[in-house]
Structure formats: structure tokens, C-alpha cells
Homo-oligomer: A and B are copies of this chain.
């Protein structure tokens, strides 16, 4: 039996304000929670499950409780609740631990759509990008929508929020800062960049003016259309897929 005040506390985590206050976020679904449980990076603090859930991973946090389906419906953010919901600690990865000299790092400048954010997390995980640095205006990686869309990638990729323009300014003298624009160097022609930061911009406005000033190399995905019209565009998640693939291929 889950108390009214507990229901209120858990559902409050659907809002960023309360996630920040409590330092907690919600993860729902068997596979997602299994992925999180495997990682050392994210700690499950509480577990709520219905009789349908088979705990095959031996996950036993301090607080765990079997609840009724109607109770699960009350705490779930999903239209169709899954048999298990975990409350996890929001990790606090150290910026100083990012090894910019030997890795590719992704930087997001005000990506706002949670679906794009989750997709980009999955791409980062697939292409071995261990750290993403985000402008403070970027969608919260720990919102329920991003967590669900990330399919567990949130447990493998460290997301850092910062004043992106300032951070890049302090890094650009030693680290290449690549930015995706409509008018840059053809990505298929650029040299190897075994380390570097790849900046992807906002869905509608692209890379902001202050961040643009920190870019050391402008890059572009060329279009292969016959009438190379500029009305066409790839969305930011698709562009991220193509550029990460090309950078990784080059540096194999």
C-alpha cells in the first residue's frame, strides 16, 4: 500500500523543479531498469512493482514494495504502465573527469525536443561517446520522456549541463570544436579528428551566436539531391547520426 503523500512525491518527479530539489528521477519498464541496474553510474534508490514483475536481476534497493496495478497507474507517467517503476538518483558527473584530449565529446546547444534528446543519447552510446555537454537551455536528460526515449543509454552516457559558450571558450585553444552548419566543410572530406567536440544546434535556430564564436571548424553534411534546394534539411538527430558515424569511421 502506497501512501498518498508518497504518490504525490513520486509524480512530482515528472517536473524538473522537483527532480532538482530531490535529486531523483523516474525510470519505468523492465528493460530500461535492467540497463540502469547494470551500470555503476546510476543508483536505484526505490523500486515499485506489481505482481507481474519478475525481478530477474536481483535488484534490491533499500526501499522496495509490491503495489497494486491501480496504484501503479497513479504513480506512472506512461499511458500504459509497465510492471515496474524505479526511483533513481540523478548522477552528478564531474566535468573535470572528461578526457577531452583522447575522446570525441558531443555538445548540445539548446536541443529542446525530448524525443531528439533521447535519440541523441542512444546515438552517443552506440558510437562510444561517453560524455555529452549541454547548454543549460537544453532539454533535461532526466525527464520521463527523455529517459524512455533513451532506452537505457542514460546509464551509459554522462550528461553535463553548463554555460556552453564559456566552457567551449576555455577549451577551444587546445581542442578542435566542430560545429554543424549549412555552409561548412563537407564532412566526407575533413581530416581525422581523433579527439574533439562536436556541437549540434537547436532544432529551429541552429547553433546560437555565442556558441558559434567558439567553433573552430564548421562542417556540413552534403545533400545528394539533384536540385540541391535549401528547403530540405535533416533533423538534428538524423544529422547527429550521420556525423558521428563519419567521425568514427575516420578514426577507426
A binding-site residues for B, Cβ under 8 Å? 31, 35, 119, 122-123, 125-128, 151-153, 156, 188, 221, 223-226, 231-235, 237-238, 241-242, 245-246, 248-249, 252
What separation, in Å, do the CA atoms of A22 and B221 have in the docked complex? 40
* With known contacts A242-B245, A248-B224, A123–B237 Cβ distance under 8 A: no
What separation, in Å, do the CA atoms of A153 and B233 have in the docked complex? 10
* With known contacts A156-B225, A224-B248, A126–B241 Cβ distance under 8 A: no
Residue on B with the closest CB to A149?
Answer: B235
Interchain CB contact under 8 A, B235 and A238: no
| Complex contacts, A231 vs chain B, CB 8 Å | 31, 35, 152
What separation, in Å, do the CA atoms of A237 and B118 have in the docked complex? 14
Interchain CB contact under 8 A, A234 and B241: yes
In the A-B complex, list the 10 residue pairs whose CB atoms are closest, starting with the nearest: A128-B224, A241-B241, A242-B245, A238-B241, A188-B249, A127-B224, A224-B248, A126-B223, A128-B225, A241-B242
* With known contacts A234-B241, A245-B246, A225–B31 Cβ distance under 8 A: no
| Complex contacts, A122 vs chain B, CB 8 Å | 232, 234-235, 238
What separation, in Å, do the CA atoms of A36 and B226 have in the docked complex? 16
Interchain CB contact under 8 A, B153 and A232: yes
Closest-CB distance, A34 to chain B (whole angstroms): 8
* With known contacts A225-B156, A241-B241, A234–B126 Cβ distance under 8 A: yes
What separation, in Å, do the CA atoms of A35 and B233 have in the docked complex? 13
Interchain CB contact under 8 A, B235 and A126: no
Closest-CB distance, A134 to chain B (whole angstroms): 20
Interchain CB contact under 8 A, A225 and B126: yes
| Complex contacts, A226 vs chain B, CB 8 Å | 128
Residue on B with the closest CB to A227?
Answer: B156
| Complex contacts, A224 vs chain B, CB 8 Å | 126-128, 248
Closest-CB distance, A145 to chain B (whole angstroms): 14
Interchain CB contact under 8 A, A119 and B245: no
What separation, in Å, do the CA atoms of A10 and B28 have in the docked complex? 40
What separation, in Å, do the CA atoms of A133 and B242 have in the docked complex? 23
